[in-house]
């Protein structure tokens, strides 16, 4: 009887240990600036994948060079259920303005999981905002 209990206990501990990484989630560990930044560009590609969807968009910098930025969002399920996104929501060529927290390193990467929004530049339509978006009015050019 004790052997059976020991085996069950060992099996339970082993399964719990192996499944712990599945439940873990990474934080941003100070990688992103606390101050938000807005960046405007043209969508190159949208990747609706788990655990984080991404948008690749081309931005013309102050020197006239085109830089490809990457924006990190939530999961496809979150985007679909909260905002009605699907594979047609953002198509290549769409002009957007993204507000979020850029990387501290200065690399063209922006986090949109908090204090963030995406606006269609041509229509000034907000198509995404994080739950922690400050109460700021939407301003369009």
pLDDT in tens, 44-97: 999 999 999 999 999 999 999 999 999 999 999 999 999 999 999 999 999 999
Share of the chain above pLDDT 90, in %: 62
Dist CA 6 CA 8 (whole Å): 5
pLDDT tens sequence across 7-34:
554 444 444 444 434 444 445 557 777 8
Instruction: Measure CA of the first residue to CA of the last residue in the chain; give whole Å.
Output: 75
pTM of the model: 0.76
Q: Which class does domain 37-129 fall in? A: mainly beta
- What are the extents of the domains in the chain? 37-129
């Amino acid at each position: 009887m004790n052997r059976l209990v020991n085996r069950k206990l060992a099996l339970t501990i082993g399964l719990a240990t192996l499944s712990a990484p599945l439940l873990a989630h990474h934080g941003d560990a100070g990688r992103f600036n606390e101050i938000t930044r807005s960046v405007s560009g043209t969508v190159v590609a949208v990747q609706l994948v788990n655990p984080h969807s991404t948008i690749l968009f081309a931005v013309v910098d102050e020197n006239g060079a085109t830089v490809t930025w990457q924006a990190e969002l939530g999961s496809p399920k979150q985007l679909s259920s909260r905002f009605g996104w699907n594979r047609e929501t953002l198509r290549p060529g769409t002009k957007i303005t993204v507000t979020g927290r850029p990387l501290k390193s200065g690399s063209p990467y922006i986090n949109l999981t908090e204090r963030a929004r995406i606006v269609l530049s041509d229509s000034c339509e907000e198509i995404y905002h994080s739950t922690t978006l400050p109460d700021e009015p939407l301003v369009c050019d």
